[in-house]
Amino acid sequence: MAHLSILAAEFGEDIPYVGGLERGFPFRGRRIPFLNRQKGIYRSAVQTGPAALSIHTSAKSPYDDEIVEDGFIYAYRAGDVNQSDNRALRAAYELQVPIVYFIGTRPSWYKPVFPCYVRSDDPVARSVVVTPGTFVGPVDEPAPTPLEDLDERRYAVRQTRVRLHQARFRGRVVPAYSSQCAICTLKEIRLLDAAHIVGDLESGGEPTVRNGLSLCSTHHRAFDQSLVGVSPDYTVHVSRRLLEDEDGPMLDLLKGFHDIPLQLPVRELDRPDRERLEVRFERFLELAG
Ligand SMILES: [Zn+2]
């Protein structure tokens, strides 16, 4: 989990398998995979205990109806209930050991949720409920622990769900723009975000590609702060406040992009929605000063 934290710090909410998760982690002089992409339930051969190390689902799953109030429903592997993968999953329940849940956000990208615990086991329905836990203890060596309080578990599930939606939104928007910033064309995937044109709490704020812009961290922040705006004719505008400000190398990063065309997605149907841009641009004009 410490190694996953490092990867998460490097890549953000979701982590690519290639160049990221495929590195695995070192353990007793060996390199151990984080997950097995060929099957959902994974227990490493070097483990002495019987419980699973991680589980995963692909980008299409879990659907929202597989998310219950205090956890995620995770199905057994097909076949015998006591088949080895199912035994490993059920042992994680019996022993209450922490596991990692890798949730697919786009093909070959996963959001790791950890620590997780198997909260309940239903061999008749052939499924378990997996719920997020927490870390307690010193900053340098916190120990994973289950959340005993129901309200805390529900809160953790809601948070995970929100982050999952954000990660999937990013997973749709950023590739639509050929994985570059729509303003400065920066291509560093680790610095690219999906910015909402209309905020997700407002009407029209759905997480669709047409309500998104692929922006680098700097331009995302500047867009959110109305320091840069995009007009419905797909032109980038920098606020007058910034344009009239003193020169400086950091400001050039923003000022240099005034009155340039936005880099659009290749596919026409992925292009930003002009009506949403208009709503947002009016606000920019009000605030840009
Ligand atoms: Zn940028």
162 shares a domain with 110: yes
* Domain final position from 133, 150, 171: 171
Which tens digit of pLDDT belongs to each residue from 215-267?
999 999 999 999 999 999 999 999 988 888 777 666 777 888 999 999 999 99
DSSP letters, the chain, are -HHHHHHHHHH-SSEETTTTGGG-EEETTEEE-S--TTSSEE--TT--SSS-SEEEE-TT-S-GGGEETTEEEEEPPSS-TTSHHHHHHHHHHHHT--EEEEEEEETTEEEEEEEEEEEEEETTTTEEEEEE-EEES-TTSPEEE---SHHHHHHHHHHHHHHHHHHHHHHHHHHHTTTS-TTT----GGGEEEEESS-TTSTT----GGGEEEEEHHHHHHHHTTSEEE-TTSEEEE-HHHHTSPP-HHHHHHHTTTTEE----SSGGGSPPHHHHHHHHHHHHHHH-
Q: What are phi and psi of 286, to 5 degrees?
A: -65, -40
Instruction: Please report the pLDDT score of residue 60 as a whole number.
Output: 67
Distances (CA, A) of 36 to 113, 151, 212: 16, 32, 32
152 shares a domain with 184: no
163 shares a domain with 27: yes
Q: How far is the CA of 192 from the centre of ligand 1 (A)?
A: 8
Structurally, the chain folds into a number of domains equal to 2
Chain position carrying tokens 């129901």 = 150
Distance CA 272, CA 200 (A): 15
Q: How far is the CA of 14 from the centre of ligand 1 (A)?
A: 20
Q: How far is the CA of 180 from the centre of ligand 1 (A)?
A: 8
DSSP bridge pairs for 16: 109
Distances (CA, A) of 215 to 10, 64, 174, 198, 259: 17, 27, 8, 15, 17
Enumerate residue ranges in the chain where pLDDT < 50.
none
Q: How far is the CA of 282 from the centre of ligand 1 (A)?
A: 22
Domain that holds residue 88: 2-171
Q: Amino acid letter at 139?
A: V
Q: How far is the CA of 11 from the centre of ligand 1 (A)?
A: 17
Q: How far is the CA of 186 from the centre of ligand 1 (A)?
A: 6
Instruction: Please report the pLDDT score of residue 110 as a whole number.
Output: 94
196 shares a domain with 82: no
Q: Give the tokens for residue 220.
A: 């995302």
CATH of the domain at 97: 2.30.280
* Domain final position from 171, 195, 217: 171
Distance CA 53, CA 45 (A): 10
Instruction: Please report the pLDDT score of residue 22 as a whole number.
Output: 96
Distance CA 204, CA 179 (A): 24
Q: How far is the CA of 197 from the centre of ligand 1 (A)?
A: 15
55 shares a domain with 149: yes
Instruction: Please report the pLDDT score of residue 96 as a whole number.
Output: 97
13 shares a domain with 139: yes
* Domain final position from 171, 194, 224: 171
Q: How far is the CA of 230 from the centre of ligand 1 (A)?
A: 13
182 shares a domain with 167: no
119 shares a domain with 24: yes
143 shares a domain with 9: yes
Phi-psi region of 237 (alpha: psi -120 to 50; beta: other; left: phi over 0): beta
Q: How far is the CA of 10 from the centre of ligand 1 (A)?
A: 18
Q: How far is the CA of 102 from the centre of ligand 1 (A)?
A: 29
Instruction: Please report the pLDDT score of residue 62 as a whole number.
Output: 54
112 shares a domain with 185: no
Which tens digit of pLDDT belongs to each residue from 183-196?
999 999 889 999 99
Q: How far is the CA of 17 from the centre of ligand 1 (A)?
A: 25
247 shares a domain with 278: yes
218 shares a domain with 127: no
